[in-house]
Structure 1
Amino acid sequence: MSPWRMTRWERGDLPPGSDTDSSPSEPATWADEPERRHEALVSVRLGPSAPGSHLVEYLRHEPCAVAAWWIAADVDAVVRLSAGSITVLHRAVADLRLRAGVEVAEANYVLRALDLTTPAGPRTAKGTSAWVVSAA
């Protein structure tokens, strides 16, 4: 999504309805509210003359780098980046393209996590059986 179409809250500003006139003793966010993190999974293809060790060394010093994996696919690696604001996250993706010897970096920004712990209800199970066919 273009940064011009994002709401102020998506860019890292306070969410709508937040009290900006609170006294200095009061926190701007609630204590039980988790800190909002912006994340991206970046598919990376190294340039023909860039060694993989250069990417690894760069990621070790990049504060937004959370994890990375070598991939056996059209790309060489997938890098997980995380930042407190979307602006910092965009900068980390741009720096990865410019400074890490990366030829192609395709960023996929994480919107929200899927809840895989909640079991499907009976209504979902009935709907699922209609399209599930035995492989035998």
Structure 2
Amino acid sequence: MSPWRMTRWERGNPPPDTDPVEPAPDADGPERRHEALVSVRLGPSAPGSHLVEYLRHEPCAVDAWWIAADVDAVVRLSAPSVTMLHRAVADLRLRAGVEVVEANYILRALDLSASAERRRDVPAWAVSAA
């Protein structure tokens, strides 16, 4: 979505006289990003090259893969706000000419680096019984 077609709060400025829903990022810390994995199916009149060309110019598109399954492709989108992320998913439908089969919004990454038993900051109830 082009920045000039967005409202101020979609670009990151909260609406006047409201409390921001999401805390502002620290000056030292990384910016909070919202991400989604979107499964898409090409429409009857939308060639794959049209989708690829659209994604090259979409600022929220991070990665995309052709998939050998019931869907044609999976697209990873990332945006600084949930509103912009919803807009990017809707734009896939409207502008890229594809059918959005499923949009999975990413909550947080799984920590696969260390087991829970070895971590000291994990409460005892969170450790697996196995």
Aligned to 1:90: 86
44, 48, 57: which one aligns with 1:48:
44
Aligned to 2:103: 107
Q: Which amino acid aligns with 1:107?
A: A
TM-score (norm 2): 0.71
TM-score (norm 1): 0.68
- SS of the residue 2:50 aligns to: helix
Q: Kindly tell me the number of residue pairs found equivalent between the two proteins.
A: 104
Q: Which amino acid aligns with 2:81?
A: S
Give the Cα–Cα distance (whole angstroms) in 1 for the partners of residues 25 and 76 of structure 2.
Answer: 26
Aligned to 2:67: 71
Give the Cα–Cα distance (whole angstroms) in 1 for the partners of residues 25 and 106 of structure 2.
Answer: 22
> Aligned pair in 2 of structure 1 residues 29, 102: CA closer, same or farther (>3 Å)?
closer
- Unaligned runs of at least 5 residues, structure 2: 1-13, 15-19, 119-126
4+ runs of 1 displaced by more than 4 Å?
A: none
Q: Aligned Cα RMSD in Å?
A: 2.1
- Unaligned runs of at least 5 residues, structure 1: 1-7, 16-27, 128-136
Q: C-alpha offsets along residues 4-52 of structure 1, whole Å, 9 cap, x if unaligned?
A: xxxx9xxx7443xxxxxxxxxxxx6433432110000000001122110
